[in-house]
Amino acid sequence: MDLAFNKEEVEFREQVKAFLSSSVPPLAAKRVAMGLPVSPKDVIEWQKTLYAKGWGAVSWPVEFGGTGWNAAQQYIFEEECALANAPLQPAFGLKMVAPVIMAFGWPEQKTKYLPRIIAGEDWWCQGYSEPGSGSDLASLKTQAQRVGQHYIVNGQKTWTTLAQHANMIFCLVRTQFDGRKQEGISFLLIDMRSSGVSVRPIIMLDGEHEINEVWFDNVKVPVGNLVGEENRGWTYAKYLLGHERTNIAQVGKSKRELRKLISLAKQQEGPHGRLIDDIRLRDQIANIEIELNALEITNMRVIADHAQGEIGPKASLLKIKGAEIQQQLTELKMQLLGPYSVVHVKEGLNLDWQKPSGLSHYPEYAPALTGAYFNYRKTTIYGGSNEIQRNIISKMMLDL
């Protein structure tokens, strides 16, 4: 596949640029540009802006409110959003649970949930991992027992991203206890406001509250919230993970961060002049750029496959290399900071932070870089660890 876009695609890129230049909220863009956390309010407002434009879900079919864009258009849009420092759209709803509902949900579920997702009216989180059930997800223990027209759910999920803001969670639960463990799992949609749901924060190394434990204590869930068939949730979970792994690649974001890395290397002075003049650093940057170009081509192929309804092992390639590139970028930025990389000031993640006199030379972009370094240690683990992805590739692509 050639990334030399045709005339219509070049014109489309200009349309996207024009819209983004006038529509991305300046304050949110500043936070994104500096690598600072963006509030859920900013994310939802941006989703509503895109929805009003008709661009709320660029990968969705037209019948569900999507744009019907081809793979090149989807790629151009996401790349330009990253370069314009637009907030990320709420991926758990748009890019994870929505495709599952479209493919396996009942008509009533499609009518109820899809319009709310694309309009930014619901915030979803993901209930997959449990203590002791991460990479071996099929060993999960959260159970749902059917009583009349409800399931009674009991158990615990962990590492649940932004659950403190969510009003809905899609959950894998055990509904059968004999036979192969993969065959006893079901896929439930649960209202986070239900009695018996509790959220407990997990504070990360950078001091941020991004992930949580979610507990279910005799939570009543209507049978109508079961997606597809009972005990077939493992099939739906794998389908969702294909979409999640594609989203993890974040090619546009990595291209933006690569530009930022090069800019910082030009600004920073070392013992022998600008850091960008260090040949070893330039080699490292060049290697990342080459790998990112290869990832870009693969990403386009996977987007094209998704448009044809194919969710295959290529998504595992995206997940592996996308995660590794993100980590490499944060590692190099930390090297550029030198001794300042040792210091992490959580308060520096606020736009109005005033540096104390003892940190007068501490760069304003340092807190975000050190925070990102801590945070991006997880990229090779979530969405299925990179080791698991290599197993998938060896089995499904290499026939080993």
The CA-to-CA distance between both ends of the chain, in Å, stands at 27
Set 78, 210, 230, 244: catalytic member: 244
CA atoms within 13 A on the CB side of 90: 35
3-state class (DSSP) for residue 155:
strand
Give the residue among 311, 279, 389, 337 at the shortest CA–CA distance from 35. 337
Which 3 state secondary structure label does DSSP give 90? coil
Sign, Cα dihedral of 259, 264, 267, 268: negative
Long-range contacts, stretch 384-390, CB < 8 angstroms, 24+ apart: 384/135, 384/241, 384/245, 384/316, 384/319, 385/134, 385/135, 386/319, 386/320, 386/323, 386/324, 387/135, 388/135, 389/245, 389/316, 389/317, 389/319, 389/320, 390/316, 390/320
**For this structure, is 213 an active site residue?**
no
Distances (CA, A) of 118 to 56, 69, 89, 364: 6, 16, 10, 36
Give me the active site residues, please: 244
